[in-house]
Chain A
Amino acid sequence: MQTKRAIFPNKFLPYALLAPQLAITFVFFFWPAAQAVKQSFYKEDPFGLSSRFVGLANYTKLFQEPDYLNSIGRTAVFAISTTGLALILALIFAVAVDRLIRSRNAYTTLLLWPYAVAPAVAGILWWFMFNPTVGILPYMLDVVGYDWNHRLNQTDAMILIVLAASWKQISYNFIFFLAGLQAIPKSLKEAAAIDGAGPVKSFFTIILPLLSPTSFFLLVVNIVSALFDTFAIIDATTAGGPAQGTNVLVYKVYQDGFIGLNLGSSAAQSVILMAVVILLTVIQFRYIERRVQY
């Protein structure tokens, strides 16, 4: 790993500098994570009076539980739709803004602010728009003959949270795509134009390949965000319903733990999610380091 070629020779100072962050990381990350791992091997009664070692039973049970398998499926549907929607729309907006010169800054400002909106608030905004009694969208859907009700219909509920999550994520992706586009040397686009490539052709043969590092980065970030930031959106709107229809993995950890008081199972789910995140982090890091090196 990189350092400076010349370094300060102090022996103890670096440890003192790292101490605050490492202390907090240890107390609030590693210790709880270790507790989760430990807990995932125990079965505890809901009142915390007794617990016994059950080995991998919490894990094996999870994968036989229809609710958990259902939750994996829901998570996949949610993550893929949100990521796809947010990436494609953001890319379209970024390419459009990148074409403009005078109005570029104005459009950028008008498109990036949703980044600042809390996921929970984003959820409430869309929940309000889709509210079956007073919402504007169900009213419009009713006109075309669709009876919207995310309180009863699982698909409607899923569409609601996908829209809310993508709406929130687009601005983030847009910022990165735009930065990526602006980093492409103008001479390349000009060379393509001289070589007779029209706008569409040059987009697919020049721009998109050069954006692939950005796209890969965003893909990972979007997946992670779809896995976790969703929590607030779901809790503020569907609360996992109807009938588990939007009970994604991260929400289920919370439901089974805090509401269902099934601590062993919740811990096992935590451990699985942590493993997934750590894996994604390492992939991302390998990739970042490779880019930083030169």
Chain B
Amino acid sequence: MVQNNTWLNALTHLILILGIVFVAFPVYIAIIASTRGSFDFLQGLVPLLPGTEAIENYSRILNAGVSTSGAPPLGLMMTNSLVMALSIALGKIFISILSAFAIVYFRFPFRTLAFWMIFITLMLPVEVRIMPTFKVVADLGLLNSYAGLTIPLIASATATFLFRQFFLTVPEELMEAARIDGAGPMKFFRDILLPLSRTNIAALFVILFIYGWNQYLWPLLVTTDSSYYTVVMGIKRMADVADSEPQWNLVMAAVVLAMLPPIVVVIGMQKLFVKGLVESEK
């Protein structure tokens, strides 16, 4: 369409630049803070230009951590976060694709019930039923373990629902052709459905990886042993020091490192991620 409205175009760019400043500013401040020495905060204002202690701060936080907070070095916490994010993402994809397959390609008694049992948990985050879930995990002896960190978060409906939606769009005839070609259900699943789901799996992986990495309350509760701390919850321990200002330069270095992996994943896989996100909710 021909649009020759210079004013409107200028306004458009202005709005977007303001928007970007709004979203980027907090992170800019954090990055700046993470490059300064701890004395730079004593005059009572965050500096606005980078300092010289970036390497010092980052290597210290990665290898040693913040001594006063009882949190381990960030390197360990990042590893824990990675384990948690990967287990949750892969685990969810695995159990979800199987149950979506069952729901779409079979008819059996209690099918609708099974679907609703899964679906009802779609938006029921762990925060709401935190006490009793915590108790179940404690009773099962899963506190301070990777199993306890991940398994309770593995069942959620989002992934099942995405796969269901996707399977419904796969032409009926594909499965019929495969049946005539002599493929049983699991063979059809492996040879046809799984390869066709590749894009969806990748997109979902991005979303679920972020979900797993960003968990906060759950690791806070199920880990008391600091060797299982994850980075997002660990930062809070660092920032939460009694009776004194936190060591802002180190806390912000940790914040930057905690944001980095999921942001890299999102930007690196932007197309897939946007597609997966939008389709999972359609």
Are the CB atoms of B236 and A236 closer together than 8 Å?
yes
Query: Is B278 on the interface with A (CB-CB < 8 A)?
Result: yes
Are the CB atoms of B26 and A228 closer together than 8 Å?
no
B89 CB, nearest partner CB in chain A, Å: 14
Are the CB atoms of B255 and A11 closer together than 8 Å?
no
Are the CB atoms of A25 and B19 closer together than 8 Å?
no
List the one stretch of B49-57, B64-72, B262-270 in contact with chain A.
Answer: B262-270
Query: Is A36 on the interface with B (CB-CB < 8 A)?
Result: yes
B49 CB, nearest partner CB in chain A, Å: 12
Are the CB atoms of A115 and B45 closer together than 8 Å?
no
Kindly list chain B residues whose C-beta atoms are within 8 Å of the C-beta of A125: 26-27, 29-30, 255
The residue that A199 contacts in the complex, of B5, B94, B185, B215, with Cβ under 8 A, is: B5
Query: Is B190 on the interface with A (CB-CB < 8 A)?
Result: no
Query: Is B274 on the interface with A (CB-CB < 8 A)?
Result: yes
Are the CB atoms of B123 and A115 closer together than 8 Å?
no
Quick one: CB contact mask for B171-195 with A, threshold 8 Å, 1 for yes?
0100110010000111010000000
Are the CB atoms of B133 and A32 closer together than 8 Å?
yes
Closest A residue, CB atoms, query B232: A118
Are the CB atoms of A112 and B274 closer together than 8 Å?
yes
Kindly list chain B residues whose C-beta atoms are within 8 Å of the C-beta of A172: 277
Query: Is B108 on the interface with A (CB-CB < 8 A)?
Result: yes
Known: A176-B278, A288-B281. 6 other contacts (CB 8 A): A4-B104, A20-B98, A110-B23, A263-B131, A281-B120, A281-B124
**B residues engaging A (CB < 8 A)?**
1, 3, 5, 8-9, 12-13, 15-16, 19-20, 22-27, 29-30, 33, 41, 44-46, 48, 94-96, 98-99, 101-108, 111-112, 114-115, 117-125, 127-133, 135-137, 151-152, 154-155, 160, 165, 168, 172, 175-176, 179, 184-186, 188, 210, 213-217, 220-221, 232-233, 235-236, 239, 245, 248, 251-252, 255, 258-259, 262-263, 265-267, 270, 274, 277-278, 281-282
Q: List 14 A-B contacts (CB under 8 A).
A: A4-B172, A18-B99, A28-B137, A92-B15, A96-B16, A99-B12, A109-B267, A116-B210, A118-B216, A128-B251, A133-B44, A236-B235, A236-B239, A270-B130
